[in-house]
Structure 1
Amino acid sequence: MEFRREPQWLRTSEPRLAGRWTSERLRLFAVLRAYWLLPILLLAAAVRFYDLTAAAIWGDEGSSLLLSQYDLNEIWVHAAHDVHPPLYFMLLHGWIAAFGDGILAIRSFSAWPGIACVGLGVWLVAQIASRRAAILAGFLLALLPTAVRYSQEVRMYALLGVWLLGATLALVYWVRQPRRQRYLVYYALLMGAAFYTHYFTALCVLAHWLYLALLRLQATPASLRIQRPGWWLANVAIVALFAPWLPGLVDLLQHLDQLKANGDVGWEPAVELASLPSMVWQLLTQDDGDGLAPLPFASLPLLMLGVVGLVAWRDRSPWRLHWLLAIYSTLPLLLVFVVSFVSPVFIERYLTAYALGLPLLVAIAVDRLLDQGRSGARGLALAVLLLFGGAEALGLKNNANVDANDQISALVDYVNQHYAAGDRIVTSDLLWYLSYVYYNRTDAQPLLYTPPAPNGASTRPNAYGFGTLVDQQAATLYVDYLSALPPGTGRVWLISTADQPDEFAPLPGAWRESAEFTAGNVRARLMLVCGAARAGTALPAACAQAAKPAG
């Protein structure tokens, strides 16, 4: 009989003590085996809540907050004029009612779904691969930089990941157990919620249908799933759930020209062939990799291509569920890339919910290589894990590279501190306005500068896109001419982009700059409104002491 040698730390001259150590060790292993998901979720929470409040609220987040201030009926109406459906904003409305609108509270509404995505990803891999693959997938997904980033923004992308991963998981259960119709009910409800969260849910529908269509070509027990009435009824149910929103969507599509006029669509950069590998770099490292030499630039995308190919090719299970994950993660990326040659929409955040599948595929590939037992395969598994993990580490570093004192929040704090009752505050752009109003602590309503175009046409936002959030205030919000501002105290704060030509130029001749503060890419200037019309007041003396003339 062969006996296993005890490790050094377990040896002792006291047999009773040795027995106690052995027992405690077994209990520890039992606890780890039972609660192995807990450290993964704790890691996911740690990286998502770290520096959660460091970055300032930016324009898109400001639009979420402004829309969520309306009641539910008004959210429905305004979202029908926006580029996103209403569910996220309705849920955010309820969240703010419960927890307040502090930056930690509102950003937590994305952090918690981000953590839930990690749990769902682990659950999904546990169903289609091994426990070892699920554990690896959990750690890799917890650290995925694009997932971390959009778990820290007041936008709908983390929530969309919950719906889509949940629906994909429900599909897995149904494919295995088609008689359990409740899984199709879950599927329809989750996909319905996803459609009310983001229109790119349609890409997930295509991925699921393509998977079932490819399965139909295989001689497997699951090949006829696409023909089952339950599947078709589930999709009809999804359409029925979304039907109340269709009139708003049709109206929005009919007013694309107005969305383009506001810059809500059509601003996306054009794509080229290098945009696809660049997107892979962006998702995994938060850097587009454009500064790299051709070979290093191609390395990470080629690694992911090899991973997807390995996972799909080695899948010999009756349900080919690895195919489902591979299609879910790659088809949306490829489709949006191709479509963007016609109408550019190739934006990282739109694809983040689908990028959640990339670390899951890496985990399955590593697990498969380790199963081969050969030293070469184990070495390759380690190399894949190190390369992917290294890319994630770089991306997390980029995510955390935030200077809280170099953003618009610091600038608005400066204005709040130096504000005098009666001062006017004018922002040069709607995105600056949306950020500014969140941090504004004065009694002044920030205004929006809308000078007529050179041909005399109005530049005021219309009732679509972000414009729907402010159009009702047009009479009191828009400033077409700086000279038309009411006198007030004779002091005007101008908020504009710092590294561009003056967006307020030309300034009225009688205005003089008294102070300036810059933070990040935005600057605030305190202007004194001088002139003979103010003779007899304290303003002329202050104007004479102004540091320099404006313009």
Structure 2
Amino acid sequence: MSLDERAPAAVRTLAPPVPAPPVPARAYVPRLSGAVVALAPALLTVVLGLWGIRRQNSMWGDESVTYQLAHRELSEIWLTAQHVDLVHALHYALMHGLYGVFGGGLLTLRLPSVLAMALAAAGVGLLGLRLAGPRAGLLAGLVFPLIPQMQRYAQEGRSYALVCALVTWATYALVVGVARHARWRWALYGATMLLACLLHEFAVLALVAHGVTLFVSGVPRPVLRAWSVTAAVVVVALLPLVVGSAGQSGQVSWIGWPGTRLLGFLVMVAVGLVCARAPLAARGPVRLPVLALPILVLPTLLLLLAAPVKPLYVDRYVLYSGIGFALLLGAWMDHMHRLHPSSRIAWVAVVVALASLVPTTLSLRTPASRGDDVIAIGAAVREQGRPGDGLIYLSGRHRVWTEAYPEDTRALTDLALDRDPVASNTLAGVELPAREIAARMLEFDRIVAVRDPFRGQSHMNPQEEAKTRTLRRHFREDGTTHVRGARITVYVRDHTKSPEQAQAPLPTAR
């Protein structure tokens, strides 16, 4: 019998238990690091996103389209998408569901973008953690929401932040799938990429960047085969949307050669190339620069290569390219810290960079940061108009400016409208023939006209020509109000105009 067995039961009961061997602290480090690396960037993104989210109670034209269509029934959204904005139909349906639960308003319009960008920032952090270590991941995740484009589209009621988040997490699923090859991981990657593409079809360009990353990384043949099959399924599933939206290509006819809009992209590429030269220890089959550079460069480059045939480059269409920039800059900052851990130069550079972003950060939260303000336009129409006045949109497409808040124009008569936007399953409604518009205008002594601030008189359709000609020949200007993105002019009937005055062109804004 052992000594423990010969001891009295009471003694054995009162004896202190033998302590369990301590768990090595390092067992908790990966989990703690992952939590901090994901949550800190997400929290910063939410704070920046909620700061000034109402933009002084302003809403610009693209957001107003989301606002209007999300208030329609799902069947009406689908019918409208057959004519216009098919590429955004899924986003409108999603916002319709959110409006049904939380009610319509600016917060409901923009909050999904804030949360989506926070998820993207968390994903960027985890990507950096996996590819370059905890500190590089944390820095990359914190850099991401500070990029001006990310701050802008985190506060817009459009699909671009959601697409960015989905591409981020699809990229993370790709990296995990390469390291731990399993069928369900590739299914998750494919589903995430497909959802991103259905929200905006240019997300498919990230698929090209992923393919280049795998090819350059020299991954095993089974991995490359699994990605190829997954990518093919995504492309085939996306084809109906591509074919349908191609028939609506007139919607992007306003896009021209990017010009100065490319400056920001070129700066990011230059910085990214410098950062990519920093030596990083490989932490898996995919190295950080080999992942980050293609996603930073290729989506934009492919759109630019299509420009001679059809200009398509707009930065928000490839917003997710910022993922690559944040990863490269975060890894470079981590590298510099390891080289010079006690140097203050890096911290001074960080402070200077943050200070340089302050003016942009402040301006993004004002109405002036967008091309127009439909709430201000509607308010100006309401203030300038009187009950019973006529209302004319010099371009019928500008009817969307006041459809978000129809109470602004309820006391006025839309002289050109035949069928309203909801009844016609369009964004701006269907207008009467030119002759009928002119006849209706002559029935009114006072007309409120809404038009572009700087638009000339060329390339007008017959309805626009009839509106302009009738105002010139039979009315005189009685005051103009300039608001962000539009002019609201009051015209009164003038029976004293000479023929020479009737033929004079309307004045254009300077």
Is the shorter-chain TM-score for this pair beyond 0.5, marking a shared fold?
A: yes
- Deviation (angstroms), 1:191: 1.0
> Structure 1: 5+ residue runs without aligned partners?
1-31, 217-221, 282-299, 451-459, 533-549
Match of 1:183 in 2: 185
- Deviation (angstroms), 1:419: 4.0
Match of 1:320 in 2: 286
For 1:277-356, list aligned pairs within 5 A.
277-281=263-267, 302-307=270-275, 309-310=276-277, 314=280, 316-322=282-288, 323-356=290-323
Conserved in 2, the CA contact under 8 Å of 1:362 and 1:385? Answer: no
Pick which of 202-211 and 505-514 moved more: 505-514
Change (3 A) 1:306 1:449: farther
Conserved in 1, the CA contact under 8 Å of 2:296 and 2:324? Answer: yes
TM-score, reference length from structure 2 = 0.76
- Deviation (angstroms), 1:106: 1.0
1:464-515, Cα deviation, whole Å (9 max, x unpaired): xxx97247x4256x76675322677643211112344578644153324444
Higher relative helix content: 2
Pick which of 131-140 and 56-65 moved more: 56-65
- Deviation (angstroms), 1:210: 1.0
Conserved in 2, the CA contact under 8 Å of 1:120 and 1:166? Answer: yes
In the alignment, the residues of structure 1 paired with residue 169 and residue 487 of structure 2 have an alpha-carbon distance, to the nearest angstrom, of 44
The answer to whether 1:108 aligns with 2:95 is no
In the alignment, the residues of structure 1 paired with residue 269 and residue 369 of structure 2 have an alpha-carbon distance, to the nearest angstrom, of 33
Change (3 A) 1:60 1:431: farther
In the alignment, the residues of structure 1 paired with residue 381 and residue 305 of structure 2 have an alpha-carbon distance, to the nearest angstrom, of 46
- Deviation (angstroms), 1:85: 4.5
- Deviation (angstroms), 1:275: 6.3
Counterpart of 2:473 in 1: which secondary structure? coil
Match of 1:516 in 2: 480
Aligned match of 2:137 in 134, 153, 156? Answer: 134
Match of 2:255 in 1: 268
- Deviation (angstroms), 1:168: 0.5
Counterpart of 1:395 in 2: which secondary structure? helix
- Deviation (angstroms), 1:319: 1.0
1:45-76, Cα deviation, whole Å (9 max, x unpaired): 22222222226322222232333344334433
Match of 2:491 in 1: 527
- Deviation (angstroms), 1:142: 2.0
For 1:225-244, list aligned pairs within 5 A.
225-228=222-225, 230-239=226-235, 241-242=237-238
Aligned residue type for 2:243: V
Aligned residue type for 1:435: W
TM-score, reference length from structure 1 = 0.71
1:189-221, Cα deviation, whole Å (9 max, x unpaired): 1111011111111211101111111122xxxxx
For 1:108-507, list aligned pairs within 5 A.
108-179=111-182, 181-216=183-218, 222-228=219-225, 230-239=226-235, 241-242=237-238, 246-247=239-240, 249-253=242-246, 255=247, 259-260=249-250, 264-271=251-258, 276-281=262-267, 302-307=270-275, 309-310=276-277, 314=280, 316-322=282-288, 323-373=290-340, 381-382=346-347, 385=350, 389-390=354-355, 392-402=357-367, 407-417=373-383, 419-430=385-396, 432-441=398-407, 442-443=409-410, 447=414, 469-470=426-427, 473-474=429-430, 483-485=438-440, 490-500=445-455, 505-506=468-469, 507=471
Counterpart of 1:196 in 2: which secondary structure? helix
Change (3 A) 1:76 1:425: same
In the alignment, the residues of structure 2 paired with residue 362 and residue 383 of structure 1 have an alpha-carbon distance, to the nearest angstrom, of 16
Pick which of 110-119 and 190-199 moved more: 110-119
In the alignment, the residues of structure 1 paired with residue 476 and residue 253 of structure 2 have an alpha-carbon distance, to the nearest angstrom, of 38
- Deviation (angstroms), 1:389: 3.9
- Deviation (angstroms), 1:267: 2.4
In the alignment, the residues of structure 1 paired with residue 452 and residue 484 of structure 2 have an alpha-carbon distance, to the nearest angstrom, of 9
Counterpart of 2:42 in 1: which secondary structure? helix
In the alignment, the residues of structure 2 paired with residue 379 and residue 35 of structure 1 have an alpha-carbon distance, to the nearest angstrom, of 24
In the alignment, the residues of structure 2 paired with residue 213 and residue 78 of structure 1 have an alpha-carbon distance, to the nearest angstrom, of 41
> Structure 2: 5+ residue runs without aligned partners?
1-31, 458-463, 497-505
Change (3 A) 1:111 1:424: farther
In the alignment, the residues of structure 2 paired with residue 196 and residue 344 of structure 1 have an alpha-carbon distance, to the nearest angstrom, of 21
Change (3 A) 1:98 1:479: farther
In the alignment, the residues of structure 1 paired with residue 347 and residue 434 of structure 2 have an alpha-carbon distance, to the nearest angstrom, of 61
Match of 1:50 in 2: 51
In the alignment, the residues of structure 2 paired with residue 446 and residue 335 of structure 1 have an alpha-carbon distance, to the nearest angstrom, of 47
Paired positions, count = 451
- Deviation (angstroms), 1:365: 1.2
In the alignment, the residues of structure 2 paired with residue 192 and residue 303 of structure 1 have an alpha-carbon distance, to the nearest angstrom, of 31
Pick which of 383-392 and 104-113 moved more: 383-392
Conserved in 1, the CA contact under 8 Å of 2:482 and 2:488? Answer: yes
Change (3 A) 1:479 1:384: farther
1:417-443, Cα deviation, whole Å (9 max, x unpaired): 454433322222355322221133142
Change (3 A) 1:389 1:101: same
In the alignment, the residues of structure 1 paired with residue 161 and residue 450 of structure 2 have an alpha-carbon distance, to the nearest angstrom, of 31
Change (3 A) 1:153 1:314: same
- Deviation (angstroms), 1:91: 0.6
Change (3 A) 1:266 1:468: farther
Counterpart of 1:174 in 2: which secondary structure? helix
Identity percentage of aligned residues: 22
In the alignment, the residues of structure 2 paired with residue 46 and residue 480 of structure 1 have an alpha-carbon distance, to the nearest angstrom, of 54
- Deviation (angstroms), 1:403: 5.2
Counterpart of 1:492 in 2: which secondary structure? strand
1:2-29, Cα deviation, whole Å (9 max, x unpaired): xxxxxxxxxxxxxxxxxxxxxxxxxxxx
Conserved in 2, the CA contact under 8 Å of 1:63 and 1:469? Answer: no
Aligned residue type for 2:282: R
- Deviation (angstroms), 1:251: 4.3
In the alignment, the residues of structure 1 paired with residue 263 and residue 384 of structure 2 have an alpha-carbon distance, to the nearest angstrom, of 48
In the alignment, the residues of structure 1 paired with residue 441 and residue 295 of structure 2 have an alpha-carbon distance, to the nearest angstrom, of 56
Aligned residue type for 1:170: A
Conserved in 2, the CA contact under 8 Å of 1:483 and 1:508? Answer: no
In the alignment, the residues of structure 2 paired with residue 47 and residue 412 of structure 1 have an alpha-carbon distance, to the nearest angstrom, of 29
Counterpart of 1:86 in 2: which secondary structure? helix
Conserved in 1, the CA contact under 8 Å of 2:390 and 2:446? Answer: yes
Change (3 A) 1:390 1:334: farther
- Deviation (angstroms), 1:150: 1.1
For 1:10-21, list aligned pairs within 5 A.
none
In the alignment, the residues of structure 1 paired with residue 237 and residue 212 of structure 2 have an alpha-carbon distance, to the nearest angstrom, of 22
In the alignment, the residues of structure 2 paired with residue 431 and residue 131 of structure 1 have an alpha-carbon distance, to the nearest angstrom, of 50
- Deviation (angstroms), 1:144: 1.4
Match of 1:544 in 2: none
Change (3 A) 1:46 1:250: same
- Deviation (angstroms), 1:249: 3.0
In the alignment, the residues of structure 1 paired with residue 258 and residue 376 of structure 2 have an alpha-carbon distance, to the nearest angstrom, of 35
Change (3 A) 1:404 1:318: closer
Change (3 A) 1:388 1:206: farther
Change (3 A) 1:231 1:301: closer
Conserved in 1, the CA contact under 8 Å of 2:174 and 2:189? Answer: yes
